[in-house]
Structures are given as C-alpha cells and as structure tokens.
Amino acid sequence: MKRLSSKLLCLLFILISTLAHADTQNFQVGVGGTIIDIQAPHKFHEVTSLFPEFERFFKTITPQTNRLLGALISEEDLQRANENQEPKLNRYMMLQVAYQMENKSVSSAEFQDLTSTIKKLQKTLLQKIKDKTADEVTNNFSEEYKIPVDIKIGEPVPLGTFVEQSDAYGFGNLMRYKVSSGEKEIEYDMVTGISFLRVKSRVLFAYVYCLYESEKDINWAKSKSIEWIDSMLKLNSK
C-alpha cells in the first residue's frame, strides 16, 4: 500500500508540474482578427502573460514599428523568476508583428516576393536594424526605467540563411553590444536568428537570441529557429 501511495504521489507531482507549465508552453495570439496557435520550443516558456515585469522589459526592446506578441525564456530562467532571482536571459525568443502588416492578408506569391527582396537587401536590412535598435532601446530604457543607458552595437556579421521554405525565410547575424549605465559597462556578442513566416495569411517575425561564445551557439540559434518555425506552420496548417 505504501508503495502504491508513493507512485501515486509521484504521478500527481508530475501532473501538477506539467499543468503549471501548460499555459507557458502553448498560447494563442490575435493578429488582424486571426487567431494563431503558438507552441514554445522545447524547454522554453512564454512569460509576458505571467509576469508584468517581463512584458514591460520585452516591450521596451521591441521596435516601435512592431507589436510584441510573446516573449519566451528558458526553463532555467523561468525557475529563477519563480524564485525571485534575476534571470540571465542568455537565450530568449520574441514573436512580433509589424503594425502596418497586422491587418493585411498576404498571399503565397506576395510572401515569395517579400522574401526575395529580403534576401537581396539582407545586408542593408541588418544595418538598419542595428542603427534603429541602438537608438530606440536606449531611448526606451531611459524613458521606461528612468535610468541613463547608452547602447552601442557593432557592425553586423551575416551568418547566412537559417531556413528557407515556401512560407518561411530566416537568416542569422552576429553583433557586439556595449551597454553603459553610469560607471558600469558590459560588452558581449549576441547571435540573432531573424525569421519571417506566413501563418494563416499573416506575416510574423520570429527572433531567436543567443549569447555567443562559440560555433555551437550559432548552431543552437539556427536549430531553434527551425524548430519554432516548423511548429508554428504545422500547428496552423489545418
């Protein structure tokens, strides 16, 4: 009897743990009146719906031209947040939509034209992202948190195409960030996977970020970009 009770307790614990993460693993977003199902990649969780401070932070680093649909952090960082510890955010993801395209239905042919243009202008696009990100995030942090912050971003290093499908195109880049606040200064390299995907005729932007230390981090950003894109396209194909 004791052995049976022990097994039941174990099963209950597993069930409770699974339910506790259910809402952070699978969620829905509304884009132009269309409901889109999202599944977080393995060991990642959507947190803006649970933690107002995370929503505040990720909105601060979202371009002003885009609307934040969700932000995903690692299981380790979620545990830190639940224990009132500061998350490391060495790896995280963001899902966004451009305000100008939110209500626009995009055909397959139009999406192919869009991705063709992106491929041709990839270097120019990366340069614009770099310049806008530094200025916007610096201003947003100063206004939102009332903290003087100076963010400088080095020249982007293109990493080539990460994924190319009929309804998705993604590429990577490596950039050096230097963040100063008062007398404190940190410098680090970040790999970013930038993906454009067409889901239920809506164009979404999926970003995968990873602190760069070695080639394995580039491979991780690429594999997670593919995993996330594939899951979104599959979930919403019906």
The 10s digit of each residue's pLDDT in 120-162 is 888 787 787 777 788 888 888 888 888 888 888 998 999 999 9
Measured distance CA(238)–CA(229) in Å, rounded: 16
| Predicted pLDDT at 130 | 78
**Residue 192 clears pLDDT 60, i.e. is over it:** yes
Measured distance CA(144)–CA(231) in Å, rounded: 34
The 10s digit of each residue's pLDDT in 218-228 is 999 999 999 99
Measured distance CA(171)–CA(155) in Å, rounded: 16
Spell out the residues 6+ positions from residue 221 whose beta carbon is closer than 8 angstroms to its own.
162, 172, 191, 192, 193, 208, 209, 210
Q: Which of 7-21, 91-105, 115-129, 219-233 has the lowest mean pLDDT?
A: 7-21
pTM > 0.85: yes
Measured distance CA(117)–CA(132) in Å, rounded: 20
Nearest to 220 by CA among 231, 230, 211: 211
